[in-house]
Amino acid sequence: MIIIPAIDIKDGKCVRLFKGDEDQVTVFSEHPAEIAKEWEDSGAKWIHVVDLDGAFSGKPKNYNVIKSIVDTVSCPVQVGGGIRNIDTVREYIGIGVKRVILGTAAFNDEDFLRNSCSEFPEEIAVGIDTKNGKIAVKGWTEVIDQSTQEVMQNLQNAGVSVVLNTNIDRDGTMEGINIESAREFINESPIPVIASGGIAAMEDLEKLASIEHLGLYGAILGKSIYTGSINLKEAIQRYS
């Protein structure tokens, strides 16, 4: 289980949202690249970056900040948020991003999804954000009426290499992982899963480690490592 620290960017700053609400934001740093270096120095093998402005607007807004992160660290970086066309995918891969995460567009534009996976095999992931058991899109503002199983089969057929599952109801709340929901999702996924949302303490990582054999590839840590409720270095040493 790879432990992956998250850097969420809004207005060029490193922030965390509460339950995906863009109006409930806490700024943790004005310098995201410095935070990325700190996480790498703690042992991170991947850095997870989200352009929140991009996620809400539908097009990348923090490209230069993301480039500075990629240029600062030597570990691979995965990026999501507002990636809706092949040119944006190419731009990110072109500056050294190792994995591009598609969200809304993966559900709205099947040709784009398939073309991305075909052109960049093993480098395309899809974010599946769940809210009350439903899949949410457009910056977590809309839910779609498709079963998880059906969605996952379509993604596998398209060639998606990894799926990120965020439980929006827990994201940024520090309430702890909803392990039943995570287990159910991983069981339904034929694709390796990275879990996120609500991971607040080492006990949550312990719970996730217990279902790693089902197909859990990694866990994303956000607010917990910024508030200090989880020590990133210790978590990586114990679980990665």
The answer to whether residue 21 is catalytic is: no
Strands 124-131 and 13-18, by their bridges, are: unpaired
Rounded Cα distance, 98 and 144, in Å:
28
First to last CA, the chain: 6
Give strand pairing partners of 218.
2, 194
The answer to whether residue 23 is catalytic is: no
Strands 142-144 and 162-167, by their bridges, are: unpaired
Tell me 38's DSSP state.
Answer: H
Sequential DSSP letters for 148-200: HHHHHHHHHHHT--EEEEEETTTTTT-S---HHHHHHHHHH-SS-EEEES---
Candidates 21, 51, 109, 129; catalytic one: 129
Candidates 8, 51, 53, 171; catalytic one: 8
Residue partners of 173: CB distance under 8 A and separation at least 6: 18, 19, 198
Strands 162-167 and 124-131, by their bridges, are: parallel
Q: Just list the catalytic residues.
A: 8, 129
